[in-house]
Amino acid sequence: MDKSSKIYIAGHRGMVGSAIQRKLEKEGFTNFVTRSSSALDLRDQKAVADFFEQEKPDYVFLAAAKVGGIVANNVYRAEFLYDNLQIQNNIIHQSYLNDVKKLMFLGSSCIYPKLAPQPLKEDYLLTGLLEETNEPYAVAKIAGIKMCDAYRAQYGCNYISVMPTNLYGFNDNYHPQNSHVLPALIRRFHEAKEQEAPSVTIWGTGSPKREFLFADDLAEACYYLMENYNEPGLVNIGTGEDISIKDLALLVKKIIGYEGEITFDVSKPDGTPRKLMDVTKLSEAGWKYHTGLEDGIKFAYQDFLSKEGEFAQR
């Protein structure tokens, strides 16, 4: 990408999109085109077509999506399927029609089968049943991967797909019902500390293991792959290391300084037992993460504290 190239970041206000923009700005890119969701509904086919025809971006980072944790995924099943299919269909197709030079499609590690062998290799895609609670989101993201590959095969489009592990960092979503596990824990332990609550309850047994990547590390990987990777299929982006939900909760508790107890509500679902990414392909492409989990959570907590007033309204 030339420094003067026009770059469209779909989802630039979200945690991933904003991290990508920060990384590109750091590298000297200045020609960005962005639209908030209120200015451009990416589910609207005509609106997206008009936008691409008017702006003609050279490169596209497709980081816009309807996302959420285990509760949101399970409750808003129709929206997670419809909204995500519409967003990616419109952007990928209009990128083709308007001669975008390269597109990066971002998905999630939840595309893999629930009981796939660990760690998760890219070729385990579509080898088994998905986790039921987030199946609609996963089906949409799998369709996006296949769409990028189909446009590459039929039209020669240089579209690549990357699948990040669980992310956290600046600009995260701390909604009490719709957030992912790590930001949810940060908010819950912080509020428990403020209210001097005797205990914090965690869903499930605490035994499932999860991998976490700092969003600014993801942005570095995305920039690296956009510059150096041009293959079909998908690339996992992660750390290659995981931690149990129980140990994660203990780490967040320590960082926040909460002194009460942790209890586990075993009547609630655990979700997938383990989701560790195999990052061999990424490592062989020449990239490795650098922000450790404890340092990353400290950064995220400081960001949370700086925006606590906003979160209190939600």
Q: How many CA atoms lie within 13 A of 219 on its CB side?
A: 23
Q: Is 303 part of any domain?
A: no
Q: Is 260 part of any domain?
A: no
Q: Is 199 part of any domain?
A: no
Which of 8, 112, 137, 289 is flagged as catalytic? 137
> How confident is the model over 235-268, as pLDDT tens digits?
999 999 999 999 999 999 999 999 999 999 999 9
The yes-or-no answer on residue 124 being catalytic is no
Average pLDDT, the chain: 94
List the structure tokens of 269.
Answer: 């679902």
Residue-number span of the structural domain to which 54 is assigned: 7-172+212-240+275-291
Task: Tell me: is residue 167 an annotated ligand-binding position.
Answer: yes
> How confident is the model over 167-183, as pLDDT tens digits?
999 999 888 777 788 99
What is the largest distance, in Å, between two alpha-carbon atoms of the chain? 60
- From the centroid of its chain, how far is CA 80? 14
Q: Is 139 part of any domain?
A: yes
Q: Is 308 part of any domain?
A: no
The phi and psi torsions of 309 (rounded to 5 degrees) equal -60, -40
Question: How far apart (Å, rounded) are the C-alpha atoms in residues 223 and 23?
Answer: 8
Q: Is 150 part of any domain?
A: yes
The phi and psi torsions of 65 (rounded to 5 degrees) equal -170, 160
Q: Return the residue matching tokens 């309204």.
A: 313
Segment 85-95 shows an average pLDDT of 98
Q: Is 168 part of any domain?
A: yes
> How confident is the model over 178-226, as pLDDT tens digits?
778 899 999 999 999 999 999 999 989 999 999 999 999 999 999 999 9
One-letter amino acid at 187 equals R
CATH number at residue 70: 3.40.50.720
Q: Return the residue matching tokens 């590390």.
A: 217
Element (H, E) at 60: strand 59-62
Question: How far apart (Å, rounded) are the C-alpha atoms in residues 2 and 24?
Answer: 11
Q: Residue 311's pLDDT band (boundaries 50, 70, 90)?
A: low
Give how many domains the chain has, as a whole number.
1
List the structure tokens of 295.
Answer: 């340092």
Task: Tell me: is residue 270 an annotated ligand-binding position.
Answer: yes
pLDDT > 70? residue 32: yes
Question: How far apart (Å, rounded) are the C-alpha atoms in residues 314 and 311?
Answer: 5
Task: Tell me: is residue 166 an annotated ligand-binding position.
Answer: yes
Q: Is 29 part of any domain?
A: yes
If we measure between CA atoms, which residue out of 306, 309, 314 comes closest to residue 170? 306
Q: How many CA atoms lie within 13 A of 218 on its CB side?
A: 31
Task: Tell me: is residue 43 an annotated ligand-binding position.
Answer: no
Task: Tell me: is residue 17 an annotated ligand-binding position.
Answer: yes
